[in-house]
Amino acid sequence: MERGGGRTMQSFGRIRRKVGSLACFPSFDPRRNGLASLFLLGAHTLVYGHRPPDFSGILDSRVLTSATCLCFFLLPQTTRGGNVDQIPSNKRGRETKKFLVLCIPSRLLLSVRIPSVAKPSALRCTRSMASDTGKKLIQIDVSSDTVCPWCFVGKKNLEKAMEQSKDKFDFEVRWHPFFLNPDAPKEGIRKSDFYKMKFGPAQFERATSRMTEIFRGLGLEYDMSGLTGNTMDSHRLITLAGHQGYGKQNALVEELFQSYFCQGKYIGDKQVLLDAARKVGIEGAEELLEDPTRGVDEVQEELNKYSSGISGVPHFVINGKYQLSGGQPPSTFMRAFEMAAKDGA
């Protein structure tokens, strides 16, 4: 018990350094403030289950900060600042009940969808760039548009490289928005008509023939039937999915690509988006799509942060440093993984 408690206290020290800098706990000392320490341990359990508390590498601490700040400052001043041993024994039960009741807002806060705040399942320890398996973690940020065929090709080649490198590395893929045709109509227009107007009939025919051949090489059929149009709603949905886990987000991107490029479906259609969201288990999709303004600001923030400096997609950033563009072959991705891993050693 003593040994485990020591590790817990060390972890709380790291919490203090991580979130205390935000002035949430200006005088917090985990070895002195007993109930405060218990509160943080309770918050950890609510969010992360019974895993060892270690927040030293959390990518986005806003969830933890919001939850703990709310409850911490609701605690009685004597409880918040005092040692548990200094509280009279006849009052400890009452203070403990208050403490337990005040954990409830933490759980409620974490269950609410807050724009720009990642859900716990989307958080990942990246300080040492090592995953839970002991393998090095490769993070890949992808700027993409859901009507870009080369983005689908790039995704397939990236996944081949990841499959061939899975014994060496673990991977985290995060998708970010880009708009190839920001002024495209929301109601949709026939793909063939739109691209003939954009590129001219001759270039359209050449591009279609080439993409058909490339898709067949990937075991896919390139379908130019159906409509194309504005992709804002699809990006709003992808951004929402990212808060529920990057695995779900990646599965949603795959489903949208398959729907648009291989099944002739229009991903500006609300029902197509809802079907894709339900298939991969995205929560809150219907509420999001009912409100055309919801999530738009967050998409714009993502666009400004990850895609403002690029001119085309797909665009890949590996471990925040190595950049690749276009439908690169798997071998190119694998070389980039190796270089990124050496830098992070």
The reported pLDDT for the residue numbered 243 is 97
Asked if residue 119 belongs to a domain, the reply is no
Q: Is there a single domain that holds both residue 48 and residue 97?
A: yes
The reported pLDDT for the residue numbered 196 is 96
pLDDT tens column, 159-170:
999 999 999 999
Asked if residue 125 belongs to a domain, the reply is no
The reported pLDDT for the residue numbered 257 is 99
Is residue 12 pLDDT above 60, yes or no?
no
Is residue 57 pLDDT above 50, yes or no?
no
The reported pLDDT for the residue numbered 333 is 98
pLDDT band for 311, please (50, 70, 90 cuts): confident
Q: Is there a single domain that holds both residue 73 and residue 165?
A: no
pTM of the predicted model, to two decimals? Answer: 0.63
Query: Mean pLDDT score of the chain, rounded to an integer?
Result: 76
Q: Is there a single domain that holds both residue 75 and residue 168?
A: no
Q: Is there a single domain that holds both residue 81 and residue 149?
A: no
HEC string for the chain: CHHHHHHHHHHHHHHHHHHHHHCCCCCCCCCCCHHHHHHHHHHHHHHHCCCCCCCCCECCCHHHHHHHHHHHCCCCHHHHHCCHHHCCHHHHHHHHHHHHHCHHHHHHHHHCCCCCCCCHHHCCECCCCECCCCCEEEEEEEEECCCCHHHHHHHHHHHHHHHHCCCCEEEEEEEEECCCCCCCCCCCEEHHHHHHHHHCHHHHHHHHHHHHHHHHHCCCCCCCCCEECCCHHHHHHHHHHHCCCHHHHHHHHHHHHHHHHHCCCCCCCHHHHHHHHHHHCCCCHHHHHHCCCCCHHHHHHHHHHHHCCCCCCCEEEECCCEEEECCCCHHHHHHHHHHHHHHCC
Q: Is there a single domain that holds both residue 43 and residue 141?
A: no
The reported pLDDT for the residue numbered 213 is 97
Range(s) of the domain holding residue 84: 2-112
Q: Is there a single domain that holds both residue 42 and residue 167?
A: no
Is residue 135 pLDDT above 50, yes or no?
yes
Q: Is there a single domain that holds both residue 90 and residue 239?
A: no
pLDDT tens column, 91-122:
556 655 655 555 555 545 444 433 333 333 33
Asked if residue 146 belongs to a domain, the reply is yes
The reported pLDDT for the residue numbered 134 is 78
